[in-house]
Amino acid sequence: MMFVSPTKGKMTLDQVFKDLISYVESDPDANYNVIIGTDSHAKDETCFVTAIIVHQIGKGGRYYYRKTRQRKITSLRQKIFFETAMSLDCASKVASKLSENGHSDLNLEIHLDIGPNGQTKELIREIVGMVVGSGFDARIKPWSCGASKVADKHTK
How far apart are the two ends of the chain, measured CA to CA in Å? Answer: 20
pLDDT tens for residues 58-100? 999 999 999 999 999 999 999 999 999 999 999 999 999 999 9
Distance, CA of 79 to CA of 123 (rounded, Å): 11
Q: Which of 58, 80, 49 is nearest to 156 (CA)?
A: 49
The yes-or-no verdict on residue 1 having pLDDT over 90 is: no
Q: For residue 24, what is the DSSP state?
A: H
Give the pLDDT confidence score for residue 101 in this predicted structure.
87
Distance, CA of 110 to CA of 75 (rounded, Å): 22
Average pLDDT, the chain: 95
Note the pTM of the prediction, 2 decimals.
Answer: 0.95
137-139/107-111 β-pairing: parallel
> How long a stretch of residues is the chain?
156
